[in-house]
């Protein structure tokens, strides 16, 4: 359980930081496609007898670079779909050569966060630190290219290279988390808490910090409740993430309603016209 808390916390922090820009840039499809299709790398690594983490990293990077290259020459959503289809096809081919890796597909989808060994902590911590450091280095260019792309271009920010760098960071984050928390869990953490944080505040640094905090709280509560109920952690992570987003949207709606009421009360009373007096 100690290993579970440590690794889950690292993954949640990385998911909150990277997920903030996933939501800001509208890249939810990419965040789903990369971890889902990267299982082909793990299957290929198992087939040739190397570490599955290496296979995940290679295929995630290839998928990210392929999406960046295809997206530059066509529609971004089509590029993501093509990369996902290609990786799924290669994964199906690798799985047809062996029957030993088949049962591990479930662990890549749903994770094994309650069965983490001590040896898995160091690689996750190193890759997590690299991802967070890369996000901090790319913070300003990512903000400019996401919110004000014209201003970013005027200041020398090359949108294509920033997009490629972000996709590489996203690939590293997903390959880091995939063996321990699964594709569905990392996707839930990258979308739910960051989307809720974006609904609460428009300040980038505060929103990213809040996204990381919400992701950590989501994982901690999910682990504790899963331990007590023996229900899957993925269910609680997805449910709590959706509840956070719903609460964030409700807060935004309530704040907008209060703002409209205050503006309406601040307006001077209308002066009656001559025709109305007559």
Tell me the average pLDDT of the chain.
80
Lowest mean pLDDT among 48-52, 117-121, 153-157: 153-157
CB distance 139 to 203 below 8 Å: no
Lookup result for tokens 């409740």: 225
Tell me what the mean pLDDT of segment 131-158 comes to: 80
Complete domains list, the chain, with CATH:
2-277 (1.10.3470.10)
Contact 244, 189 (CB under 8 A): no
DSSP string for 136-196: HHTHHHHHHHHH-HHHHHHTT--HHHHHHHHHHHHHHHHHHHHHHH-HHHHHHHHHHHHHH
Q: Tell me the pTM.
A: 0.81
Query: What's the pLDDT at 211?
Result: 92
Q: Give residue-wise pLDDT tens across range 47-95.
A: 777 777 777 778 888 888 888 777 776 677 788 888 888 888 887 787 7
**pLDDT score at 18:** 92
Q: Lowest-confidence range among 23-27, 168-172, 270-274?
A: 270-274
**pLDDT tens digits, 233-253:** 878 888 888 888 888 888 888
**CA distance linking residue 272 with residue 251, whole number of Å:** 37
Lowest-pLDDT range of 20-34, 102-116, 142-156, 187-201: 102-116
Query: Could you count the other beta carbons within 10 Å of the beta carbon of residue 194?
Result: 33
Q: If you average pLDDT over residues 172-178, what whole number do you get?
A: 79
- Range 166-191 average pLDDT: 80
């Amino acid at each position: 359980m100690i290993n579970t808390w440590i690794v889950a916390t690292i993954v949640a922090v990385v998911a909150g930081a990277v997920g903030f820009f996933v939501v800001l840039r509208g890249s939810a499809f990419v965040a789903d496609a990369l971890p889902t299709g990267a299982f082909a790398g793990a299957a290929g690594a198992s087939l040739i007898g190397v570490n599955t983490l290496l296979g995940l990293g290679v295929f995630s990077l290839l998928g990210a670079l392929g999406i960046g290259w295809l997206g530059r020459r066509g529609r971004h959503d089509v590029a993501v779909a093509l990369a996902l289809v290609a990786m799924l096809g290669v994964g199906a081919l690798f799985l047809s050569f062996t029957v030993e890796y088949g049962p591990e597909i479930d662990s890549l989808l749903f994770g094994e966060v309650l069965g983490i060994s001590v040896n898995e902590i160091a690689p996750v911590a190193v890759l997590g630190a690299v991802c967070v450091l890369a996000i901090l280095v790319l913070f300003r260019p990512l903000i400019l290219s996401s919110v004000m792309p014209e201003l970013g271009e005027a200041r020398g920010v090359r949108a294509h290279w920033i997009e490629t760098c972000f996709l590489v960071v996203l690939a590293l984050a997903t390959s880091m988390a995939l063996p321990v928390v699964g594709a569905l869990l990392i996707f839930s953490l990258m979308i739910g808490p960051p989307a809720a944080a974006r609904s609460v505040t428009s300040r980038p640094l505060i929103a990213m910090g809040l996204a990381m905090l919400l992701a950590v709280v989501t994982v901690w509560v999910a682990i504790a409740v899963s331990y007590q109920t023996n229900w899957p952690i993925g269910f609680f992570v997805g449910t709590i993430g959706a509840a956070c987003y719903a609460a964030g949207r409700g807060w935004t709606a309530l704040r907008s309603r209060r703002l409209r009421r205050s503006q309406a009360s601040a307006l001077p009373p209308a002066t009656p016209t001559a025709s109305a007096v007559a």
